[in-house]
Chain A
Amino acid sequence: MNYSLGEFEEIVLLTVGVLYNEAYGVAIKDEIESRLKRNVSVGALHSALRRMEKKGFLESRTGEPDKERGGKPKRFYTITAFGKEVLEANKDIRMELWNSIPEMALKKV
Chain B
Amino acid sequence: MIRHLADRLFEWFCDPECYADISGDLEELYFRNKSDRPVFAQWRYFAQVLILMRPSIAKPLNLFTRVPMSMYRNYFKISGRNMMRHKVFSLINIMGLAIGLAAFILITAYVRFERSYDRISDQADSIFRISTVSSANGVENKDAMAYYPLKAELDNQIPEIQLSTITKYLENTIVKVGDDLYRERTMISGDANFLQLFPYKVIQGAAGQMLNSPNSIVLTDSKAKTYFGEDDPVGQVISLKGELEGEFTITGVIEDVPENTHYRFDMIVSDESIKGLHDYNSWNYNNYYLFVQLDPSADPKNVLSKLQPIMKKNNKRSALTLVPLTRLHLYSDYTFEPGVTGNPQVVGLMELISILIISIALVNYINLTTTRAMTRSREVGIRKVVGARKKELITQFMLEAFIVNSLALVVALILVEMLIPFYNQLVGYDVLISVFELNGIWLSLLVIFLTGSILSGVYPSLVLSGFEPVKVLKGKLTTSRTGIVTRKTLVVFQFVISLLIVGGALVIYEQIRFISSMDLGMDPNAVVTLTAPGIENEEEYNYLHSMKNEFLNGTSVEHVGFTSNSPGGLRSDINSTRAKVNVEGIIEDLDGISYIQFVDGGFFDVMRTRLLAGRNIDLTIASDSSALIMNRAYMNRLGVSSPERLIGKSISLWGQTWEIAGIVEDFNRTSVKSAVEPTLYIASYAPSQMVVRLNSADITAGLDYMEEVWKKFYPEHPFAYQFVDSRYEALYDEDRRFARVSIIFSGLTIFIAMLGLYGLISFMTTLRTREVGIRKVLGASLAGIYQLFAKEFVVIIIIAAVICSPLIYYLFNNWLSGYASHIAFPFWVIPVSFIALLGLSMLIISTQLMKVMSIDPADTLKYE
Contacts from A to B (Cβ < 8 Å): 24-26, 29, 41-44, 46-47, 50-51, 62, 66, 68-70, 72-75
Contact = CB atoms under 8 A, between A and B. Distances in A.
Contacts of B53: 43
B24 A70 contact: yes
B48 A41 contact: yes
7 contacts: A26-B28, A42-B48, A42-B52, A46-B25, A47-B57, A51-B56, A75-B18
Contacts of B778: none
A44 B23 CA distance: 14
B28 A68 contact: yes
Nearest to B58: A47
B20 interface: yes
A11 B68 CA distance: 44
Contacts of B24: 25, 66, 69-70, 72-74
B27 interface: yes
Interface string B23-35: 1111111010000
A24 B22 CA distance: 10
Given A26-B29, A46-B57, A70 B23 contact: yes
A97 to B, nearest CB: 30
B18 A25 contact: no
Given A68-B28, A70-B27, A43 B21 contact: no
Contacts of A46: 18, 22, 25, 52, 57
Contacts of B22: 25, 42, 46
A41 B28 CA distance: 14
A11 to B, nearest CB: 17
Contacts of A74: 21, 24-25
A74 B22 CA distance: 8
A95 to B, nearest CB: 31
A43 B44 CA distance: 12
B25 A24 contact: yes
Contacts of A41: 48, 51-52
A67 to B, nearest CB: 10
Contacts of B28: 25-26, 66, 68-69
B21 A24 contact: yes
Interface residues of B, number: 19
Interface of B: 18, 20-29, 31, 48, 51-54, 56-57
Nearest to B25: A25
- Give the 3 A-B residue pairs with the shortest CB-CB distance, closest first: A72-B24, A43-B51, A25-B25
A8 to B, nearest CB: 13
B85 to A, nearest CB: 51
Contacts of B23: 70, 72
Given A25-B21, A42-B48, A62-B21, A47 B27 contact: no
Residue among B18, B21, B23 with max Cβ neighbours from chain A (10 Å): B21
A72 B20 contact: yes
Contacts of B48: 41-43
Nearest to A53: B18
Residues of B contacting A: mostly? helix
A66 B20 CA distance: 11
B25 A43 contact: no
A62 B22 CA distance: 12
A75 B26 contact: no
Given A46-B25, A46-B52, 7 more contacts: A42-B29, A43-B51, A47-B54, A47-B57, A69-B24, A69-B31, A72-B23
Given A41-B48, A43-B57, A68 B31 contact: yes
A44 B24 CA distance: 16
Contacts of A68: 27-28, 31
Contacts of A50: 18, 56-57
Contacts of A47: 52, 54, 56-57
A69 B57 contact: no
Contact of A72 (B27, B51, B54): B27
A73 B23 CA distance: 9
A40 to B, nearest CB: 10
Contacts of B57: 43, 46-47, 50
B126 to A, nearest CB: 51
A9 to B, nearest CB: 12
Contacts of A51: 56
B529 to A, nearest CB: 85
A35 B26 CA distance: 21
Residue among A25, A42, A50, A74 with max Cβ neighbours from chain B (10 Å): A42
Contacts of A66: 24, 28
A50 B15 CA distance: 11
A73 B20 contact: yes
A37 B588 CA distance: 98
Given A72-B21, A74-B21, A42 B54 contact: no
B69 to A, nearest CB: 30
B23 to A, nearest CB: 6
B6 to A, nearest CB: 12
Contacts of A24: 21, 25
Residue among B27, B31, B53 with max Cβ neighbours from chain A (10 Å): B27
A8 B29 CA distance: 21
A70 B56 CA distance: 24
Contacts of B56: 47, 50-51
Residue among B25, B27, B56, B57 with max Cβ neighbours from chain A (10 Å): B25
A13 B56 CA distance: 17
A68 B32 CA distance: 9
Contacts of B54: 43, 47
A24 to B, nearest CB: 7
Residue among B24, B29, B52 with max Cβ neighbours from chain A (10 Å): B24
Contact of B25 (A44, A62, A69): A69
A73 B29 contact: no
A107 to B, nearest CB: 44
A54 to B, nearest CB: 8
Nearest to A76: B21
A6 B450 CA distance: 49
Contacts of A29: 25, 29
A68 B53 CA distance: 24
Residue among A24, A47, A66, A73 with max Cβ neighbours from chain B (10 Å): A47
Contact of A26 (B20, B25, B51, B52): B25
A77 to B, nearest CB: 10
B59 to A, nearest CB: 12
A41 B31 CA distance: 16
A44 B51 contact: yes
Contacts of B21: 24-25, 62, 72-75
Contacts of A73: 20-21, 24
A73 B20 CA distance: 7
